[in-house]
Amino acid sequence: MIPLRPKYRRRQKPSLGAVLIAMLAFLCLPALLAFAEAGTPPSSRRSDAAYAAHKPKLERDLAAAGLELGRPVYLRITKQPAELTAYVADADGAFKAFRSWPICSVSGGLGPKMREGDGQAPEGFYKVAPAQMNPASSYHLSFNLGYPNAFDRANGRTGSFLMVHGSCVSIGCFAMTDPGIEEIWTLMQAAFEGGQSSLDVHIFPFAMTGDNLAAHWGSEHLSFWTALAPAWTGFEQTGRVPRVKVSGKAYQVLGAHQGETGAPR
C-alpha cells in the first residue's frame, strides 16, 4: 500500500501581537543581560522589606567589628552544634567571623546526604549564586545549596532542592528562624550587589578538630569527614576560603589565594 502524501498547511503569517512581543524582547535583551551580569539576586516585596528592615542595624554592627556591608561573605554550617556562621571579608580580604545563628530545625543525623528521600541534610562544599536565591519561598526566604555538586554526582548521590530557609521546619534542609534568614539574606544580597559573583557554603558535621574526629573514630563516615577536615583547618589558619576540586570521586582541598573562593559545582 502506497502511503498517502501528507497535506501541508499554508504557512501562517505571524500575528501583530507576536511581532510586538518579539520586538519588545529584542529591545529588552540588553537590560536583561546587564541585570544578569550585575549579580543582583531576584527580589520580592518580602525580601525588599527584610533588606530595608535589617540593613541599618547590620551596617552599624559590621562597622563596630571593623567590617562593611557589601563585602564578600562566606557561610559555614555545623550540625553539632546546629548553627550557621557568617564570615565577612575585611579590607585585606581575610574573612572574619561576624555572627552565628542557631539552626532551629535540621533533619537526619551526622553524615552526608546519600539519596533522594533519605531525610538527611548534606555535608560538603557548596556554592550559591544569585539565581539560587528564592525571595518568594514557601518557607519565608531561602537559597538553594546546589546539591548535588560535582562530588555528589560522581559518587551517585541524589537529591534536589536542598535549602537554607526560614519557617523553622525542615525535611533534609537547614531551617532558620524568619529573623535569622532575613539577616543572612541581607548579608548575601549586599555581597552580591557589591560584586561577589557566588559565595561558598561549607557544611560540616562538627568542628573538624583532631579530638572531634577521634571521638567518632568508629563512624562509617570517618573517611569522608577526614577529607573535609583540611578545608576547616586551612580556613582557621588563614582566614581564606580554600579552593576545592573533585578528583575522581574525592575532594581535593587546595590553598586559597587572596580574593579567591571555590567550591566545586
- Give, for 205, the enclosing helix (H) or strand (E): strand 199-206
Helices 178-193 and 45-64 sit at what angle, rounded to 10 degrees? 80
- Report helix, strand or coil for 204: strand
State yes or no: is 173 an active-site residue: yes
Residues 157 and 148 sit within 8 Å (Cβ to Cβ): yes
Spatial neighbors of 128 by CB under 8 A, at least 6 apart, are 75, 143, 144, 145, 146, 188, 198, 199, 200, 201
- Four-residue CA torsion sign, 159, 161, 164, 167: negative
| List 28, 104, 140, 165, catalytic entry | 165
Active site residue 54: no
Backbone φ, ψ for residue 225 (5° rounding) = -65, -35
List 28, 173, 221, 257, catalytic entry: 173
Query: 3-state DSSP call for residue 12?
Result: coil
Cell of 170: 525542615
Using an 8 Å Cβ cutoff, are 212 and 65 in contact?
no
The residues annotated with a catalytic role in the active site are 165, 173
